[in-house]
Each structure stands twice: as C-alpha cells, then as structure tokens.
Amino acid sequence: MNLRNGAGAKHLTLPALMVSIPFSFPHEASMAPFLNEIAADLNLSTGVAGQLGTATYLGGITAALALAPMIGQMAIRRVLVTALFIVAGTSIVSGVVDNFAALLLIRLIAGSAAGIVLAATLAAIARAWTDPKTRVVRTGLVIGAMSSGPGIFAPGLRVLGEFMDWQAGLLVYGTVTAIVALFVAFGLPSLPGSPSGISYKNRLAEAGRAVGMPVVRTVLGMRLISQVMFGVVFSFLAAFFVDLHPGREGWIAPMFFVGPFGFMQAAFVGGPLLARFGVMRTTSLAIMLTGATVFVFVWFAPSPYFSAFLFFLYGLLMGVAQTGMTALIYQHSGDRLGAAVFVNSAMGPGGSMLGAVLGGIAILAAPGYDGYKGFVTVVAVGMMAISMWLAIRTRRGGERVPVS
C-alpha cells in the first residue's frame, strides 16, 4: 500500500506531526540537561556555556525569517523531512565535537532546522484540518506532544549520560531523530502548498500587517514574553537547580520531566477546557499564574519536592496558555493565517534566544544567581501585567471557539 498518497496516510497525519514537533526543541532536549558537564568539559562558566542555547535559538529565528513566509507554497512533507534529517545530522556531529566555537556554529544550524520543523508543523495543522472544531482539538494534541522533547528526551538522555557522557546522549538523540524523519517521509501526506506569484518582500509585509491585527498583536506579545521566560528557565535549569539544592544533582532528570509532563497533560485537554471557560479568559489567567509560579520557584526552595511541584505547575499552566495562544492566532488572523503562523513561529526561538542571552548576562553580572533571580522576577511581573492587560483590552473578544 502506498502510504504517501493512499488512505492510510491520512490517519497517520496526526501521529506524524506529533512525533515531529518535539524536535523543534533540540537544545532543551539534548544539551540543556548537561549544562554543568558541558561547562566543565569545555572549561567555561555556566553563563557562557548556556549561549549554546542562544546559538540554537538564533538559528530558529533566522530560519523562520528566511523560509517560513514561503512555506505556504511548499509541500509540508518535503520541508519537514529535510529539516528533521538536518537536526539528526547536526546532533550527531555535536556529539563528536569538543570545540566551543565549532559547537556554536553547529547548534546554529541545528536551530535553523528546528525552526523549520516548528513552522512546518504549525502550518500543517491548518492545512490538514480546516474544520474549526477538529482543528482546535488537534492543535492541543500536537502542542502537547511538543513537550516530549524536553520532557522525555531530556531526562532520558540525562540518565544515559550518567552512565556514559553527554556526547553519547547527543548521538542517541540524532539517531532517534533520523528514525522519526523516515517515519514522517512515509506516514505524512504531501500536504501541498498553493503556488503564488506574491514576492517574498510582500509576504514579509503581510506578516507585518498580521502583527498589527487587534487581537493577534496582543497574543503575539504575550507569546514573546512567555517564550523569554521559557528560554531563561530551561537554558539554565540544570545549573540553577543545583544552586538551589546543592548536592541534589540526581534531581536534574526528574526536573526536566515534571515541567514538560505538566505541559503535555494540560495541552492534551486544553481544547475542551478553553472552549468551556473561554479562550481569551483562560489563556490570560494561565499566563498570569505562570508568572506568579516562576517567581515562587526562583525565590522559595524549602525542598526539591516543592521545587519539582512548582515546575510541574509551571508546565501545566503553560500547556493551557500555549494551546490558547495558538487557537487565538488561528481564530483571529482571518485571511492572514499564513502570515500570523509565520510570526508566531518566529516568536518561539526569538523569545527563547532573548531569554538565554539576558539570563547568561544576569548570571555573569551578579554574584551567585542573584542577577538571574532578579531577571526572572522582571519577566514574571511582565507576564502578569501583559496577561491582565490582554484580559481587560479584549474582554470577550476570543471567547467563541466552536469545540464540542
């Protein structure tokens, strides 16, 4: 049976997208859990070693700016499979290179491919399911599967690295990515694009106009600041947790599991939850509570159990928020859907890059992690403020989502 074009391919669309999107997080899944070991092996401070994440995020936003506006004209399967194989190749090469400058370049390439994975997957959701009821539920499932990257690979590779080393973890990650790329090549329909004579410049201009749309611009602002928080928290989680709880290195793997696990659970049930209580209202509340939760996480650490609970709660709230923000983009962008998805895709690595850069600077600028805590506090307050502003400004603007 030809899985590419036959009926069998259609029922593999959802699993193919769900196994693809976790690889849009190659840094959080494969390198961030080993920040302490990488810093020690390369004789770097954690603030400097964390910039491997910055290089990855920079690659993601570069790819989004360069390619995402044109994805509407491309066949999704071809773009997605190519990007996955690049993530696989760069991960394997990262596992055999011990030069920091070379690793920065390799991670830049890996991030570029990961950015394409994210943009292509989000574009595929809109292309594969045009019915709003079906699409918002599928969105929750795919967004939930995204957390498998840091939630399954990160703790799994961390455990493997304790028996071997961090380079071995990268080799395993690259191999698994290649296997997933093969599955997608045979399991995902082509999902062809629509040929267009619109120039790249005009598409960027269209993206600019999408940013100016009333609800979309506020949602994108909320997406940016929440992604800054994600970048600063995940990039330095391994090092910061050991500072919070000295001698508890064994908790690093569970910490990388509990947050994404909460995210996954919330995203999977997010569609019906958002439909019942209102997309705009629920998303705003989730973002507000996320900021408060992270504030408590960085300042109050009576035990690793309490820290793990807070990190699980952070993931739970972000799972609801990410599903809601994606649904609002689909719902309010109208005939500029492609442009809005492009900007949304760029916000992910862009915000994470900003968080990693500023987090690293904060660590280097102040003794211990006082600067880091201060920066996280500023971002947390910003999250609470922008979510409150969104709720006040839009009121019931996003409450009607047709989900059964």
The rounded distance, in Å, linking the Cα atoms of 132 and 345 is 20
pLDDT digits (tens, 9 = 90+) for 209-223: 877 787 788 888 888
The rounded distance, in Å, linking the Cα atoms of 150 and 356 is 16
Q: Is 152 exposed, middle or buried (0-12, 13-18, 19+ CB in 10 A)?
A: middle
Say if CB 139 and CB 330 are below 8 A apart.
Answer: yes
Report the alpha-carbon angle 112-320-154, nearest 5: 45
Single-letter amino acid, residue 121:
T
Query: What sign does the CA torsion over 7, 8, 11, 14 have?
Result: negative
Say if CB 216 and CB 333 are below 8 A apart.
Answer: yes
The rounded distance, in Å, linking the Cα atoms of 42 and 100 is 7
pLDDT digits (tens, 9 = 90+) for 50-80: 889 889 988 888 887 776 556 667 788 999 9
Q: How confident is the model at residue 87 (pLDDT cuts 50, 70, 90)?
A: very high
pLDDT digits (tens, 9 = 90+) for 12-45: 889 999 999 999 888 888 888 888 889 989 898 8
Homologous superfamily in CATH for domain 11-394: MFS general substrate transporter like domains (1.20.1250.20)
The rounded distance, in Å, linking the Cα atoms of 291 and 389 is 14
pLDDT digits (tens, 9 = 90+) for 334-355: 777 777 777 777 777 788 888 8
Rounded mean pLDDT of the chain?
83
In this prediction, residue 195 carries a pLDDT of 63
In this prediction, residue 399 carries a pLDDT of 43
pLDDT digits (tens, 9 = 90+) for 135-151: 777 877 887 788 888 88
pLDDT(396) > 50: no
Q: How confident is the model at residue 314 (pLDDT cuts 50, 70, 90)?
A: very high
Question: What phi-psi label fits residue 251: left (phi over 0), alpha (psi between -120 and 50 degrees) or beta?
Answer: alpha
Spans of all domains in the chain: 11-394
pLDDT digits (tens, 9 = 90+) for 216-267: 888 888 888 998 998 899 889 988 998 899 988 888 888 988 888 888 878 7
More confident residue, 73 or 332: 332
The rounded distance, in Å, linking the Cα atoms of 41 and 49 is 10
pLDDT(173) > 50: yes
If we measure between CA atoms, which residue out of 113, 67, 109 comes closest to residue 338? 67
Question: The tokens of 188 are what?
Answer: 């995902």
3-state secondary structure the chain: CCCCCCHHHHHCHHHHHHHHHHHHCHHHHHCHHHHHHHHHHCCCCHHHHCHHHHHHHHHHHHHHHHCHHHHHHCCHHHHHHHHHHHHHHHHHHHCCCCCHHHHHHHHHHHHHHHHHHHHHHHHHHHHHCCCHHHHHHHHHHHHHHHCHHHHHHHHHHHHHHHHCCHHHHHHHHHHHHHHHHHHHHHHCCCCCCCCCCCCHHHHHHHHHHHHCCHHHHHHHHHHHHHHHHHHHHHHCHHHHHHHHCCCCHHHHHHHHHHHHHHHHHHHHCHHHHHHHHCHHHHHHHHHHHHHHHHHHHHHCCCCHHHHHHHHHHHHHHHHHHHHHHHHHHHHHCHHHHHHHHHHHHHHHHHHHHHHHHHHHHHHHHCCCCHHHHHHHHHHHHHHHHHHHHHHHHHCCCCCCCCCC
In this prediction, residue 377 carries a pLDDT of 94
